[in-house]
Amino acid sequence: MLPATASAKVDFRLVPNQTPAKVLEQLRTHLDAHGFEDIEIVDLGGNPAAKTDPDHPAVAMAVRAARDVYEKPTRLIPMIGGSGPNFIFQKYLDVPIISSGAGDSQSNAHAPNESISLDLYQKGAKHFARLVLLMETY
> What is the mean pLDDT of the segment spanning 107-125?
92
40 and 77 part of one domain: no
Beta carbons within 8 Å of 65's beta carbon, 6+ residues apart: 127, 130, 131, 133, 134
29 and 68 part of one domain: no
Number of domains in the chain: 2
pTM > 0.85: no
DSSP state of 86: H
Give the pLDDT band of residue 29 (cuts 50, 70, 90).
very high
81 and 37 part of one domain: no
Beta carbons of 49 and 87 less than 8 angstroms apart: yes
43 and 64 part of one domain: no
Phi/psi of residue 120, each to 5°? -70, -35
For residue 21, the model assigns a pLDDT of 95
83 pLDDT higher than 80: no
20 pLDDT higher than 80: yes
Give the residue numbers spanning the domain of 24.
Answer: 13-48
43 and 87 part of one domain: no
For residue 129, the model assigns a pLDDT of 94
Phi/psi of residue 92, each to 5°? -95, -25
